[in-house]
Structure 1
């Protein structure tokens, strides 16, 4: 693959955001959907309601961590609609995420992430762009041995979604397996890094304490997830069976495209398993924990749910895909087949991104 620089990543950011915006505008112009409604579907709408009314006014609102609603609330205080604040935060978050990926895996990794099939969720009022920005930079700082910055950034991520719990665990492995020279003994330095991780863990603890004061149940977020989205504990094999059954054609005759999205959830789970194995094979222990623990969590839900969005969090996945794309077969015919496969995969990925934009902006369930 040709060499690219940071300027190309910036152009990819503009191009991918522009393609998503054009998709939204075309939908608005060819239907009776208002632009403010198109960008405010599903969780974006729920986050806005929490920002306006608080947790107790809406059923199962405690399933959502408070970081994004607080930022949306701040926008309301200065007169900005939640849709505008959400979009602005998403633009900033996606740019910061791409910059971190540039540092973690190189420019092609950042570009691949920007054109991910579910990239629409990095342009609207969802937690993905801000979480990825904080988590990816926390990882970059942790890899460089900058424990305080790592902890603060991980704390920001932990305020946004429960994935912050998995981030803390994976960063702990990163601290233990990373060799840096701080002028201290190796194990003393690692102990200091682990102590710093008390900060993001404390952020999660603070939310649980808030829920206890508010509802009497410190795990009200999990109760809300189970009640609102059927995400109670299920054995992995039963979860796979449940997902497979609804992924069959005609599984939801009253809801077009639901079966297709569930099929994509299965594909995303397979990608998570492959990424975990790839990381283990290369002794990237912390990255394996980061992806693997999420795969386990998704597999113990009633069905595979929201995995399509979680692939945005799995930066090792994008590193793996770029690594495969840059592989050069020995034989000429192998190189031709490989390059053809790469080109077709890129086309398919961009087409899937446009399709996902259509799903979300038209109000269809999009994971």
Structure 2
């Protein structure tokens, strides 16, 4: 039993944050049931309905109808597949199953991230880092009907396994994550960094080692989806070919477009502002040699989403879990600042959760 004592803190964080999210969502929609967007109400229960907006609708349609529309292929298959399976197993509706699945994965994600932080920097830093991660303004996407929590769970677990030398298992876990959210593939940089740190940069020894298979498995899993699209639609890269349909050019804007003077909606400008927090964490990771394995994922992810992912920068930057370790280390040494930072993040998260639940364009 003592071996599981470490799990008490992340479990408590999960219970507290989910209770707060459900209570706030229910209260806000009962106090003001008006919605900014007149979309289909798949869930009448406010506490759950407010967590199934925007992409959750697409995942529901995919689970029930398959990839009927070409641009739906941009949503990778594992999340709707698991949601449908959970629905059949429990008798719950697909939207409820998707929200439940996201939260189950969210619990696993907090456990995996905390365990990794704990082994890296000890209890105080791990607690501070996890608190900051859970309070980040867009962390509520880990509780919504989105695959973000699966991305965090699989990437954190894969990196943890890689740091323990279990490279093939790490690649298999990361491959599952890629099938849920394609950006999870960026965590392969951390798997690569872990193997380079272990075996060095000797091409023959590196490439012929059995652990190298762990770097190929995520690509192999991604190719399974391409194979499915090729067999079912005749377009193995349909997810890329049809990537702008339904969303337009904005969905693939990057900081380069912003610097060239293209106008961005207010919410996207706020995403850019708040992304500076994990961005700063990624820089701190790069500067410290003992964190370089984590830095590979954090820096790679932030550079990727700053380049092509501004429209989803809020939830994507909230998935950059390694960036919160150095921030936690820094604030654990300054306890008078930690709680104000956590509270400020939580208040801002409440604001964006309110907008998301009332169907404003927060995505």
Alignment gaps of 5+ in structure 1: 181-185, 248-258, 329-337
Q: Is the 8 A contact 2:84 2:97 kept in 1?
A: no
Match of 2:239 among 221, 234, 239: 221
* Alpha-carbon separation, structure 2, partners of 1:103 and 1:279: 18
Structure 1 residue 66: Cα displacement: 0.3
Structure 1 residue 47: Cα displacement: 0.4
User: What TM-score do the two structures reach when normalised by structure 1?
Assistant: 0.82
**Per-residue Cα deviation, 1:148-197 (whole angstroms, up to 9, x for no partner):** 321221121111011132122331222212469xxxxx946983222222
Alignment gaps of 5+ in structure 2: 35-43, 118-125
User: Match of 2:272?
Assistant: 266
What SS does the corresponding residue of 1:159 show, helix, strand or coil?
helix
* Alpha-carbon separation, structure 1, partners of 2:279 and 2:22: 32
Instruction: Verify: 1:357 aligned to 2:363, yes or no.
Output: no
Instruction: Verify: 1:277 aligned to 2:283, yes or no.
Output: yes
User: Match of 2:122?
Assistant: none
* Alpha-carbon separation, structure 1, partners of 2:254 and 2:350: 34
User: What TM-score do the two structures reach when normalised by structure 2?
Assistant: 0.83
What SS does the corresponding residue of 1:311 show, helix, strand or coil?
helix
* Alpha-carbon separation, structure 2, partners of 1:23 and 1:7: 24
Alignment of 1:40-51 (within 5 A): 40-51=52-63
* Alpha-carbon separation, structure 1, partners of 2:58 and 2:254: 29
Structure 1 residue 129: Cα displacement: 1.1
**Per-residue Cα deviation, 1:116-137 (whole angstroms, up to 9, x for no partner):** 2212211122101122111111
* Alpha-carbon separation, structure 2, partners of 1:214 and 1:242: 41
What SS does the corresponding residue of 2:310 show, helix, strand or coil?
coil
User: Match of 1:312?
Assistant: 318
Aligned length: 334
* Alpha-carbon separation, structure 2, partners of 1:93 and 1:234: 29
Instruction: Verify: 1:32 aligned to 2:51, yes or no.
Output: no
* Alpha-carbon separation, structure 2, partners of 1:72 and 1:14: 22
* Alpha-carbon separation, structure 1, partners of 2:87 and 2:150: 18
* Alpha-carbon separation, structure 2, partners of 1:326 and 1:111: 11
* Alpha-carbon separation, structure 1, partners of 2:305 and 2:207: 34
User: Match of 2:333?
Assistant: 327
Counterparts in 2 of 1:242 and 1:81: CA distance versus 1, 3 Å: farther
User: Match of 2:219?
Assistant: 201
